[in-house]
Amino acid sequence: MIKAGIIGATGYTGAELVRILSGHRETELAGLTSQSYSGQGFGSVFPSAAGFNDLVLEPQDAGKLAERCDIIFTALPHGISMEVVQEVVNKGKRVIDLGADYRFDRIDVYEKWYKVSHKTPELAAKSVYGLPEIHREEVEKAVVIGNPGCYPTSIILGLAPLLKNHLINTDTIIADSKSGISGGGRGLNLAFHYSECNENFKAYNIGVHRHTPEIEQELGKLAGEDITVSFTPHLVPMTRGILSTVYATLTEVKTTEDLLELYDEFYNDEFFIRIHPRGQYPQTKWVYGSNFCDIGLTVDPRTNRVVVVSAIDNLVKGASGQAVQNMNILFGLPEKTGLDYVPVFP
């Protein structure tokens, strides 16, 4: 059995990791930490998990936890993971960081957008961006995995076949994304109070969202050139889900059928990518609680643009489920282990 520990187990992504790993037949949860709920049973903090996981939450001691684990997940805010990850690596263990500290190829880009100095740049230089469908071979050999952000996951997977085949003008990419409230985390924030977000729909951080450079980094790798995108996130009054609608101008004449065939071929062996037929576009309800990324598209011949729609659950494929998928790769397990269940509907 793989012994796993979670540092930061009582945020939304940490709790989602506990939920998924509690049903993972090849993994045993060996320890959970929480600064806010130390000393309490996980099942008492999250009654939904009672009977499935009743581990007592521990104070944060990364080195001590790493000694009894094979893999550590860090579900901490950016800027906080760095020293924790270094402690785990010093113990000779592998780590998957669900924050932003190990997602970037260039430290200066990270520091510019996140407004913090990186304390472990040498470790960051060796980390792997953990989007399995794109970087599987690198993930297999990684010691530190920077688990992708939720918005980037939906956008990168939506555009990868087009960029890899040079079928769109990279100067014309516009990504319009909507996310559920859980994407803002579990901490108190006025913007996420019920009376503020219920029956409301808003754009935020236009042009300055911190996921922008992560999106551009990975799209640029696929295209083989530097890319600048227009990315606008929106907050939708629902609990889970991300729907991204991405627009780009085609470099040659293609039909919807042509591109659907391309996507089917590109993602042919990917269990978690589901390509929808012509005229059917993904909905967040279709992936709720699951590790799937659903993709639909159409070509608008009037404007010579392709419109790609992708849907994920921001807490699963956009965070914790993808982290477990990465863990499965690290330990040579089938990628869908612990993740092969039907989404919840309605």
Would residue 293 show up in a list of annotated catalytic residues for this protein?
Answer: no
Q: What are phi and psi of 129, to 5 degrees?
A: -75, 115
Cα 282 from Cα 42, distance rounded (Å): 34
Helices (H), the chain: 12-21, 42-45, 62-67, 81-90, 107-114, 121-126, 132-140, 150-164, 194-197, 212-223, 256-266, 321-330
Backbone phi, then psi, for 302, in 5-degree steps? -65, -35
* 3-state SS class at 308: strand
Amino acid at 245: T
**CA 75 – CA 15 distance, rounded (Å):** 9
Neighbours of 40 (CB within 10 A): 13
Name the token pair of 35.
């600064």
202: Cα within 13 Å, side-chain hemisphere: 10
| 3-class secondary-structure state, position 48 | helix
**What sections of 236-341 are H helices per DSSP?**
256-266, 321-330
Place of tokens 């965070």: 319
User: How distant, in Å, are the alpha carbons of 30, 179, 237 from that of 295?
Assistant: 36, 16, 22
Residues paired with residue 248 on neighbouring β-strands, in sequence order: 306
Active-site positions? 150
